[in-house]
């Protein structure tokens, strides 16, 4: 069921978006060579405690997860692209890590993700991140009142396909509100002019993610981490936005 937020409720969601952006900024800055993924999770966990926020991940146990997630941050390294479960691994020079974080502040949720390169970048990794980031920007720009959900999906796909990447539609964007995941599902490929009408008050997370040379994913032995089927690297970008009468409002913007 899709629930539209009032203008006042969207204002009440701003602190959650600001906090999620703040945490991702801090974690991304800390992601250096030799830093343990568990350290990154601890940074996010400490910030949650200090803010009096609530994690959306730690007790999260959907049908596709082997058990409750147990951490507060997703850390997907190299061929991992989604739901990366933090574990005892120290980042190496040239690693690419996607950081995904969602939290509740004052009863409202925001969800966002960013991919960064640790140390020396590979050109192909930088290109993949650039494509994913531009696809997110295009998806946000297409989230206009009076439009259709397919406009967002088509805008995301247009960027990816133009750069030669294929698209998996098993996981994508979603509604956000009192909980992390709600209707509607927003695939990263679709047809413009199709799907539900985009109305002011709709709050969604738009999240393109692409793999370098495949659109097939497999689940890691940890029961959570999703990896590319061919070992190629992946990138992920996400923002929580509200559709307003004046256009899209990014709630999870980072400073």
Give 60-111 pLDDT, tens digit per residue: 999 999 999 999 999 999 999 999 999 999 999 999 999 999 999 999 999 9
149 belongs to a structural domain = yes
Confirm whether residue 83 is marked as ligand binding: yes
30 membership: H or E segment, kind and range? helix 7-30
Number of domains forming the structure of the chain: 1
Confirm whether residue 11 is marked as ligand binding: no
Confirm whether residue 22 is marked as ligand binding: no
2 belongs to a structural domain = no
pLDDT of residue 75: 98
Give 186-213 pLDDT, tens digit per residue: 999 999 999 999 999 999 999 999 999 9
48 belongs to a structural domain = yes
255 belongs to a structural domain = no
Give 43-55 pLDDT, tens digit per residue: 999 999 999 999 9
Confirm whether residue 54 is marked as ligand binding: no
Confirm whether residue 100 is marked as ligand binding: yes
Confirm whether residue 239 is marked as ligand binding: no
Neighbour-count burial for 121-135, b at 16+ CB within 10 Å, e otherwise:
eeeebebbbebbbbb
Q: 101 lies in which domain range?
A: 7-250
Confirm whether residue 236 is marked as ligand binding: no
pTM of the predicted model, to two decimals? 0.97
């Amino acid at each position: 069921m899709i629930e539209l937020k009032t203008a006042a409720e969207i204002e009440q969601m701003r602190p959650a978006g600001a906090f999620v952006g703040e945490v991702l900024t801090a974690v991304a800055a800390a992601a250096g060579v030799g830093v343990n993924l568990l350290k990154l999770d601890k940074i996010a966990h400490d910030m949650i405690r200090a803010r009096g926020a609530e994690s959306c991940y730690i007790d999260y146990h959907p049908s596709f997860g082997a058990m409750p997630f147990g951490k507060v941050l997703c850390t997907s390294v190299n061929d991992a692209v989604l739901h990366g479960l933090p574990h005892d691994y120290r980042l190496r020079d040239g690693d690419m890590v996607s950081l995904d974080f969602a939290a509740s502040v004052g009863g409202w949720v925001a969800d966002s993700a960013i991919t960064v390169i640790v140390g020396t970048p590979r050109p192909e990794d930088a290109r993949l991140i650039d494509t994913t980031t531009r696809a997110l920007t295009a998806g946000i720009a297409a989230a206009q009142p009076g439009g259709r959900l397919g406009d967002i999906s088509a805008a995301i796909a247009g960027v990816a396909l133009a750069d030669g990447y294929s698209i998996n539609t098993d996981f994508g964007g979603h509604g956000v509100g009192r909980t992390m995941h709600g209707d509607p599902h927003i695939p990263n490929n679709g047809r413009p002019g199709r799907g539900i009408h985009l109305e002011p008050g709709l709050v969604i997370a738009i999240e393109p993610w692409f793999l370098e040379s495949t659109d097939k994913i497999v689940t890691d032995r940890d029961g959570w981490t999703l990896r590319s089927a061919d070992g190629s690297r992946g990138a992920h970008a996400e923002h929580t936005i509200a559709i307003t009468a004046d256009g899209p409002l990014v709630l999870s913007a980072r400073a």
